[in-house]
Structures are given as C-alpha cells and as structure tokens.
Amino acid sequence: MNLKQFLKPDWRKIVLFLIFMFLFTLISVFTNPEDILSFILSWILGQPMVTIFFVQALLFGGIPQYLITDNFWILVGGISTQIYHYILSCLIVWIYDKMKKRKR
C-alpha cells in the first residue's frame, strides 16, 4: 500500500475521523482537567499543538512575538488536530484491513 492509497478517504476513515473529533470536543469541553482519565484521553486524542509549540521553540531558539498570539495557535492547533485525527483513523483502518487479510 502506498501513501496515496493510505490517505485516500473512504467511508470508514471519515466515520472514524468524525468520531474522534466528536470525542475530542466532548472531552475538551465537558471534563475536569484535573481528572486523570480525562487528561489521558485528551492526550491520546491529540494535543499536537503543544508538540508543535515545543518543536518550534527548539528549532528557532525562541518564540517570535507574532507566533505568541492566541489566534495563530488556535488556527495551528485546530488544523494539526484535524490532521492528527485523520491520520489516526487511516492507521486504524489500515491495521483492521491487515488483520482481516491475515485471518483469511
């Protein structure tokens, strides 16, 4: 399987993506951040914005002033979270297909 086929959308990937986005929104809005279970779930479902922030700080040695604004990080965080959820759904569908072929 090549990368194009791996990332090609089908109904299973889209459904998983929507489920991940729904769960992420639910956990982000309706849970207590001090609860350990909600912390673990929010970390698994994706907080790539934090990772991007630290990688950017390591690469540039500091944070340029225009990148500290909230609007920029909300945009980057939203886009990176959606990309993360889609790749996660592609990976789950790919693993499921591999397991299905192995059983035959």
Angstrom distance (rounded) from CA 101 to CA 104 = 5
Calculate mean pLDDT across residues 61-80.
66
Question: For the segment 10-49, what is each residue's pLDDT rounded down to a tens digit?
Answer: 999 999 999 988 887 777 666 666 666 666 666 666 655 5
Question: For the segment 2-11, what is each residue's pLDDT rounded down to a tens digit?
Answer: 888 889 999 9
- Closest C-alpha among 55, 57, 54, 25 to residue 41: 25
Q: For residues 49 and 85, is the Cβ–Cβ distance under 8 A?
A: no
Q: How much is the pTM?
A: 0.68
